[in-house]
Amino acid sequence: MASGKILVAQGGGPTAVINQSLVGVVLEARRHLGIRRVYGAHHGVRGIVNEDFVDLTQETSGNLEGVAATPAAALGSTRDKPDLAYCQEMFKVLRAHEIEHFFNIGGNDSSDTVRIVAEEAARAGYALRCMHIPKTIDNDLVLNDHTPGFPSAARFVAQAFAGANLDNAALPGVYVAVVMGRHAGFLTAASALGRKYPDDGPHLIYLPERSFEVDKFLADVKIVYERLGRCVVAVSEGIHDAGGQPILAQLAKVLERDAHGNVQLSGSGALADLLCEQIKDKLGIKRVRGDTFGYLQRSFLGCVSDVDQREAREVGEKAVQFALWGQVNGSVAIKRSGQYAVNYELLPLQAVAGKTRTMEDELIAASGTDVTEAFHRYLRPLLGSGLPDAFRLRPNPVPKVLGR
């Protein structure tokens, strides 16, 4: 006899809307007569191995809606990357609790975990439906137009650069800000959407899809600074040289050679600081400031795309619908329709699991330091409604009297 029990878990880096997907699963599942219990795993796959579950059937709709609108992972997340043995332990627990459907919200690694657990269940002849629900601010899942979590983080980055550009115009100098995204540059590229006027920054955008040379970078900054008297730069944390070596490691080595000692550079502000040092030292520019957006870009309470919220909710809902009516395993994917609507499809787990998408060539400008119109057209609808706008005074110069 069917237990009517399902389990949902969250994995990897939190986002502004991952709880929408959680609540989408819970509320949709609670509508179905066949589902009698909705469990959640504390801290993702680790909570499964540890049998650390909460009963989400006993949670008010009001509180669930509050949680949905709250960033980060309400169930707790984990960085554990399960191997086969780990997944076998997970399966033991799922079977012991008579779980019939397993929903895992996460990125590449989470989809791979779902794939392995599904294979274990199939091998054991146990009827377990396994669904991967997409989530990542990196936007690096293949076969998805985009992933929930990315639009809200992109909105934060665009608004942050819009403000930083204004600050830099008020007190001119060079400003370098480092954005998350080790392999995919989508989030760094979102900085371009913060521009309004023709001379607004970011004036230079460095993505991990292109190799980075410090000398070229300095030359780029010099040209902008000489033209505008200021320069705003967006840099992905994942920038690397032509050989694939991270720039952080390369610059760190320079420092080590200078100091003949063991300088620790793993702190998160290091890359921005090192690039600023290069600009000060090599270009002789005085006012050079570096920021690292850090955890704010994925967790800030109060900067979210309503489109992202809606879609994150829907991928959770669709996962339950696919599982119950389709009775197959898979990964829910977002497909774009026109400009702008979306459809949801169920992909085979192996089509998504463990694969990494990076920015397509047509989204990156030929210069390698900007995005194309196609990227603007791609990203703008995802940022949602009510984006704040920036205004400047129009020039009405007053003739000089002393004229010195």
Catalytic center residues: 138
User: What H or E segment, with its residue span, contains residue 337?
Assistant: strand 330-337
Place of tokens 């992905």: 236
85 binds its own copies (CB under 8 A): no
**Binders of its own copies among 63-82, rule CB under 8 A?**
63, 66-67, 69-79
- Inter-CA distances, 121 with 18, 36, 130, 351, Å: 26, 21, 9, 19
Of 1, 242, 341, 393, the one binding its own copies by CB under 8 A: 393
Q: Which residues pair with 284 in a beta bridge?
A: none
Give yes or no for a contact between 22 and 52, defined as CB atoms under 8 angstroms apart: no
- Residue of 119, 291, 345, 370 that binds its own copies (CB under 8 A): 291
Residue 313 neighbours by CB under 8 Å, 6+ apart: 17, 20, 21, 23, 24, 68
Q: Which range, of 88-96, 204-212, 328-336, 341-349, touches its own copies by CB under 8 A? A: 88-96
Which of the residues 129 through 168 are near its own copies (CB under 8 A)? 159-160, 162-164, 166-167
Site membership for its own copies, residue 366 (CB under 8 A): no
* Interacting span for its own copies (CB under 8 A) from 101-109, 241-249, 262-270, 334-342: 262-270
- Of 186 and 300, nearer to its own copies (C-beta) is 300
The CA distance from 31 to 19, in Å, is: 18
Instruction: Specify the stretch interacting with its own copies by CB under 8 A; choose among 107-115, 260-268, 322-330, 341-349.
Output: 260-268
Nearer to its own copies, 269 or 354 (CB): 269
Contact with its own copies (CB under 8 A) among 45, 117, 130, 169: 169
Tokens of 179: 């954005």
Checking DSSP bridges between strand 37-41 and strand 53-55, what pairing results, if any? antiparallel
**One symbol per residue from 189 to 228: x for binding its own copies (CB under 8 A), - otherwise; what is it?**
-----x----------------------------------
Which of 17, 128, 224, 272 touches its own copies (CB under 8 A)?
272
Q: Is the CB of 337 or the CB of 404 nearer to its own copies?
A: 404
Q: Does 4 bind its own copies (CB under 8 A)?
A: no
Count of residues binding its own copies (CB under 8 A)? Answer: 92
Scan residues 295-314 and list those touching its own copies (CB under 8 A): 295-296, 298-303
**Residue list 315-334, contact with its own copies (CB under 8 A):** none
Cβ–Cβ under 8 Å, residues 314 and 17? no
**Closest CA relative to residue 376, chosen from 196, 206, 232, 210:** 196
Task: Give the list of residues 6+ apart from residue 91 with CB closer than 8 angstroms, or none.
Answer: 117, 120, 121, 124, 126, 128
Q: Assess 382 for contact with its own copies (CB under 8 A).
A: no
Q: Is 385 exposed, middle or buried (0-12, 13-18, 19+ CB in 10 A)?
A: exposed
Binding flag, residue 255, its own copies (CB under 8 A): yes
When asked if residue 97 is in the footprint of its own copies (CB under 8 A), the reply is: yes
**Interacting residue with its own copies among 282, 294, 336, 370 (CB under 8 A):** 294
Helix ranges (H only) for 97-189 are 108-124, 150-170, 186-189
Task: Say if CB 237 and CB 212 are below 8 A apart.
Answer: no
292-310 as b/e, with b when 16 or more CB fall inside 10 Å?
bbeeebbbbeebbbebbbe
Q: How far is the CB of 345 from its own copies (least distance, A)?
A: 28
Residues 6+ apart with CB under 8 A from 393: none
**Least distance between its own copies and beta carbon 328 (Å):** 27
Asked if 270 touches its own copies (CB under 8 A), the answer is yes
What are the φ/ψ torsions at residue 398 (nearest 5 degrees)? -100, 130
> Quick count: other Cβ atoms within 10 Å of Cβ 233?
27
- Indicate which single residue of 1, 170, 242, 366 sits in contact with its own copies (rule: CB under 8 A): 170
